[in-house]
Chains A and B, each alone.
Chain A
């Protein structure tokens, strides 16, 4: 299982763009990169997933360079409600799906 490394915490202000980078140097050919968001007393919530290049949805963008050894979650114009822990995961995305959660990045959005 590919191990991930991401910053323990980040601070930002409302309205700013936040970029959280995750390193996964031993990512395998079949591995997908998935990001989750977790609020206190709730389960992790799926944000975005990608394999290569750029993926965008209504919540975030995910940038993946050609070597796929890292990825960056981009949250546009964050608000106070985006304060949460963000997890980067790498793993096979088939019937044998095994995902390892790292420590996550605790994002604090300030007014």
Chain B
């Protein structure tokens, strides 16, 4: 089975530009999570969806960040406008609802804002 697929793997852009990160969860998984990882703060949960509906976005740092899940097989995390402090590795994870079901992570998008 294909795992969680994220694109792009690397993104370098100038501050002020819009950045869109993409995620395709594992087929059949109905929960999706966006994380951010930095050396200073470790892995932080930004937002998660259940059945395409955002459940908790309390981890989203500010209004410049937004996430959507238009269907069960696709999600985006958008930053507009981007700032250098947004530089991090962004991970997407998905899981099947149910007791004992773990999250499965993609390999992340390494974002650098110049």
Contacts and interface: CB of A to CB of B under 8 A. Distances in A.
* Chain B, interface residues (CB within 8 Å), range: 20 to 34
Given A93-B99, A93-B100, A101 B105 contact: no
Interface residues of A, number: 23
B102 interface: yes
A94 B95 contact: no
Nearest to B58: A98
Contacts of B31: 95, 97
Nearest to B9: A41
B45 A100 contact: yes
Contacts of A99: 45, 103
B99 A94 contact: yes
B25 interface: no
B42 interface: yes
A1 to B, nearest CB: 10
A54 B39 CA distance: 33
A94 B97 contact: yes
A73 to B, nearest CB: 14
Interface string B84-114: 0000000101010111111111111010000
22 contacts: A32-B99, A32-B100, A34-B102, A36-B105, A42-B107, A43-B91, A43-B93, A43-B105, A44-B43, A46-B103, A46-B104, A49-B100, A93-B101, A94-B97, A94-B98, A95-B50, A97-B31, A97-B48, A97-B95, A98-B48, A99-B45, A101-B45
Given A32-B100, A95-B97, A97-B95, 4 more contacts: A43-B107, A46-B104, A98-B45, A98-B48
